[in-house]
Amino acid sequence: MASDRIVVVGHAAVTCLGTDLDRTWQRLVAGESGLARHPERLDPGQYLQDIAGLVEGVGPGTDREDPTIARLGSRFVHFGLLAARQAWAEAGLDRVRDELPSDRVAVVVGSGLGGMDLYHAESRRAAGRKTLATGPYLVPGLIANQAAGQVAQQLGLHGPSLSPANACATGGHAIAHAALLLRAGEADLAVCGASESAFTPEIVNGFVTMKALMGRKPGDRAETDPGQASRPFSADRAGFLMAEGAGILILATETAARRLGLRPIAGLLGWATNSDGFHVAQPNPDRVRRCLELAIAHAGLHPEQIDYYNAHGTSTTVNDRVETEAVKAVFGEKAKDLPVSSIKGAVGHALGAAPAIEAAVCVRALREQVIPPTINHRPDPALDLDFVPGQARSARLDRVLSASFGFGGTNNALVFGRWTDA
């Protein structure tokens, strides 16, 4: 089993750019932003920021509400299930149901914060009641493993089910742990990734107060164009902008994919996770560097064999500086020629779901041989890498590295490869 390659047979994303990966990718490579001002949902009287990357038309109370989970009011559950169904359909797994034992399919779908939106709404409703009782679906809709649980339930899967909660590295950890289950022989396929929606005044205002999320800044260029609010690696970066969404990959062992007649679209060549053991919120440059090195080594590669680095790139002052330093330390002289981009200028920061969305984008980049741009970028002399500013770029892509770092010092890196039968 250890030599059995791991392949991607399905990939999907739900983002503020589109409710499927095709639409997201189309707008992403066109250099568009999905960030907008939403005072109707993010009341400026309660929120310190009303610019966000919201998913339109999906979730509780919308025209596209999923009837199978209508009573579960958390948006992250709806996003995760929608993305999982899309990836499942792309892989063509319904046609091989009879050949695919349901207990050989793992589900590893995490969430950084779970159903905080439902918790906030129910708390406000409860405050106006004369009884202490809450809605019966509060706990089922709140717990962070409910996206994984509903993917398993609605797709009829009975293999291992896990739900990582590793802050902004969650989706990457989910993909890495799914790969470990396949390598260990615990499953033949895995539905993996993460989903997130955490727009409450407490969460948004907490991020602004700690100066991680960009608050309102009079005179800022985002004041007239909210699409410019998130600007990774830019000289005037001022904090991340929150978003919601989901990213899902379906992984399989090469043996299982061939047996079932599934078409691989990329390979998962390597991965790594580690801990900073350093600070509650700030990344540690040495540990970030080490995580990248471990992932490249696990893939059996040398740094010069990486063709594109998909950055965590949050648009915060500290992260973008530390990440730039880590890339230079890992890639040495090659760093100045390595394309590096962050899609968070376009889709915002979907917290735990961000790494999974970015993983799906990396797989699509390998398929299309196109690097998505870093939009809203203004050069910073201290950050002197090739950030693919402004416009997407055609390139020969054989291997890409994607990394994510979360509060608490939890890091993740994934290496994907263009699929060949060789």
Sign of the CA dihedral running 127, 131, 135, 138: positive
Question: Per the structure block, which two tokens stand in for 272?
Answer: 């790594």
DSSP state of 364: H
pLDDT band at 189, cuts 50/70/90? very high
- Supply the pLDDT for residue 422: 52
Pairing outcome for strands 245-253 and 189-196: antiparallel
Residue 2 confidence (pLDDT) above 70:
no
Active site residue 349: yes
Mean pLDDT confidence for 41-65: 92
pLDDT band at 172, cuts 50/70/90? very high
Instruction: Report the alpha-carbon distance of residue 300 to residue 204 in Å, rounded.
Output: 41
Checking phi first, is residue 388 left (phi over 0); if not, alpha (psi -120 to 50) or beta? left
Active site residue 279: no
Question: Per the structure block, which two tokens stand in for 382?
Answer: 């201290």
155 with 191: CB under 8 angstroms?
yes
Active site residue 168: yes
Residue carrying the six token digits 């050989």: 104
308-318 pLDDT tens trace = 999 999 999 99
Per the DSSP assignment, residues forming a β-bridge with 105 are 189
Q: For the chain, how far is it from start to end, CA to CA, in angstroms?
A: 18
190-228 pLDDT tens trace = 999 999 999 999 999 999 999 999 999 899 999 999 999
Q: Which whole-number Å values give the CA distances from 390 to 42, 168, 344, 379, in the listed order?
A: 28, 25, 13, 11
Q: Of the listed 168, 192, 291, 362, which one is catalytic? A: 168
Please report the domains of the chain, with CATH numbers, ordered by start residue. Answer: 6-260 (3.40.47.10), 270-418 (3.40.47.10)
Per the DSSP assignment, residues forming a β-bridge with 8 are 251, 266
Residue 277: CB atoms within 10 Å: 9
Instruction: Report the alpha-carbon distance of residue 414 to residue 144 in Å, rounded.
Output: 23
269-293 pLDDT tens trace = 999 999 999 998 888 999 999 999 9
Q: Of the listed 11, 38, 173, 349, which one is catalytic? A: 349
**Which residues lie below 8 Å from residue 128, measured CB to CB, with a gap of 6+?**
none
Q: Of the listed 11, 38, 173, 312, which one is catalytic? A: 312
- The whole-angstrom distance between residue 153's C-alpha and the CA centroid of its chain comes to 22
Residue 419 confidence (pLDDT) above 80:
yes
**Which residues lie below 8 Å from residue 102, measured CB to CB, with a gap of 6+?**
156, 157, 158, 159
- The whole-angstrom distance between residue 210's C-alpha and the CA centroid of its chain comes to 22
Mean pLDDT confidence for 315-330: 97
Question: Per the structure block, which two tokens stand in for 113?
Answer: 């914060």
